[in-house]
Structure 1
Amino acid sequence: MNKPYVIGIAGSSGSGKTFFLKSFLNHFLPQQVTLISQDDYYIPANTKTQEENRLYNFDLPTAINRKDFYQDIKQLFDGKTVFKEEYTFNNPALKPKILEIKPAPILIVEGLFIFHYEEVNELLDFRIFLDAEESVALERRLRRDLIERGYDHDDVMYKWENHVVPSYQQYLLPYKPEVDLVIINNTDDPKIIDDATHSISTDLKAKKIDISII
């Protein structure tokens, strides 16, 4: 299998990456694109007490099993299927699934630190930065963590102020000027997805990569 065309997608917490990715993937046939997420490579913290979990900073590059993340990306480069247990963010109500990540001509790599990890950043052919106003991003974070993950409001705010924002400013924001495409995502407007897909498909055609987009 030839090396896939690798698209890196990163953004702050609450920038709408999940919405973007789901919509973006719908523009391609399943066999044309595959996705590997940094979030599934968190080093397990489920043995910590509630208070330890509250104070633990998940928003640091060292919270990710960087070596395994990179090696699995390289496995996809070699045409091999990756099997990975889904990370459920220590939510006991969720039973983790075994993810089957198959190689494809287009590989999407997403996560907060994908530009900061030099060995991963070097593999990317096209870089997308999702941006949102801080108030919008915080509202999305609260909605997700309070409802989907069952976190306490004070815990969410503590992590936002002490972990999320400082990490974003140190490990992601400095790379914004270097990316190929910045998407302002304050409204979850589907048009931004169409615009991004058009831009990327144009880039693929310019490189003579034969991938049909729906």
Structure 2
Amino acid sequence: MIIIGIAGGTGSGKTTVVKKIIDSLPKNEVVLLPQDSYYKDSSHVPVEERQNINFDHPNAFEWDLLSKHVSMLKKGEAIEQPVYSYLTCTRQSETIHMEPKEVVIIEGILALSDKKLRSLMDLKIFVDADPDERLIRVIQRDVVERGRTAEAVMDRYMRVLKPMHIEFIEPCKRYADLIIPQGGHNKKAIEIIKLYIEKILGK
């Protein structure tokens, strides 16, 4: 088994990198653990206050549960991955049953920021992109997928995303074994990762 952590700023192209890695490997060989699934449950917070939660801060995540689940997969045990609702900012009652596979990918903006979680990883990747490219992608995604106005997205970017990126996400670069510029468009980087995975798995 190989455990890979993939971090990078919002809109950097992490999801594309993950998809390209999964597509390059044999079918059903990867367990994907999105860090977003491990947001702390906010059902105890009054509904009108939930919009003030800073989802780009390390304190927003339940790190112990994520590390526990990675350790269980490493031991060959199945896990029940949480399901998080962005609409209500709460953890749902249902879970997703995950069996251990040859490749485990942990993907999220702060996937490399927790020391205990990093210690479980065999390969740590940081997906890099210019701030203006990330902002454009965030605007495109949030306007189309989340029904926000461009003004609201830019306001949130300046108030939350940019300062959190500088304080917590960018420093994670120092822990990366591999930094991928241009995200999923970097074909050579994806090929290198595929070769590394095959080498570790003895294929």
TM over 0.5: yes
Which amino acid counterpart does residue 57 of structure 2 have in structure 1?
L
Q: Which structure has the highest strand share of the two?
A: 2
Structure 2 residue aligned with 1:84, among 81, 86, 97?
81
User: Which runs of no fewer than 5 residues in structure 2 stay unpaired?
Assistant: none
**SS across alignment from 1:172:** helix
Counterpart contact for 1:9–1:111, Cα < 8 Å: yes
Counterpart contact for 2:11–2:138, Cα < 8 Å: yes
Q: CA deviation at 1:53?
A: 3.7
**SS across alignment from 1:87:** strand
Is the counterpart of residue 202 in structure 1 residue 195 in structure 2?
yes
Change in 2 beyond 3 A, CA 1:57/1:154: farther
Counterpart contact for 2:110–2:172, Cα < 8 Å: no
Hey, what's the Cα distance between the residues in 1 that align with 2:199 and 2:82?
37
Other-structure match for 1:14: 11
Alpha-carbon RMSD across the aligned residues, in angstroms, is 2.5
**SS across alignment from 2:172:** helix
Change in 2 beyond 3 A, CA 1:70/1:178: closer
Q: CA deviation at 1:48?
A: 4.3
Hey, what's the Cα distance between the residues in 2 that align with 1:204 and 1:18?
18
Which amino acid counterpart does residue 198 of structure 1 have in structure 2?
E
Larger deviation, residues 169-178 vs 135-144: 169-178
Other-structure match for 1:184: 181
Q: CA deviation at 1:112?
A: 1.9
Structure 1 segment 42-191 matched on structure 2, within 5 A: 42-45=39-42, 48-50=46-48, 52-90=49-87, 98-185=95-182, 189=185
Hey, what's the Cα distance between the residues in 1 that align with 2:27 and 2:68?
23
What's the CA shift string for 1:130-173, capped at 9, x where partnerless? Answer: 11111110111112222212234444223211221222212221
User: Which runs of no fewer than 5 residues in structure 1 stay unpaired?
Assistant: none
Hey, what's the Cα distance between the residues in 2 that align with 1:203 and 1:182?
15
Q: CA deviation at 1:45?
A: 3.6
Q: CA deviation at 1:120?
A: 0.4
Structure 2 residue aligned with 1:28, among 25, 39, 45?
25
What's the CA shift string for 1:88-127, capped at 9, x where partnerless? Answer: 31269xx997433221121111122222100001111111
TM-score (norm 1): 0.81
Q: CA deviation at 1:7?
A: 1.1
Q: CA deviation at 1:18?
A: 1.6
Hey, what's the Cα distance between the residues in 2 that align with 1:184 and 1:48?
40
Counterpart contact for 2:81–2:95, Cα < 8 Å: yes
Hey, what's the Cα distance between the residues in 2 that align with 1:148 and 1:53?
20
Hey, what's the Cα distance between the residues in 1 that align with 2:137 and 2:113?
24
Percent pairwise identity: 26
**SS across alignment from 2:67:** helix
Which amino acid counterpart does residue 199 of structure 1 have in structure 2?
I
Q: CA deviation at 1:202?
A: 3.3
**SS across alignment from 2:84:** coil
Counterpart contact for 1:87–1:96, Cα < 8 Å: no
Which amino acid counterpart does residue 126 of structure 1 have in structure 2?
L
Q: CA deviation at 1:37?
A: 1.3
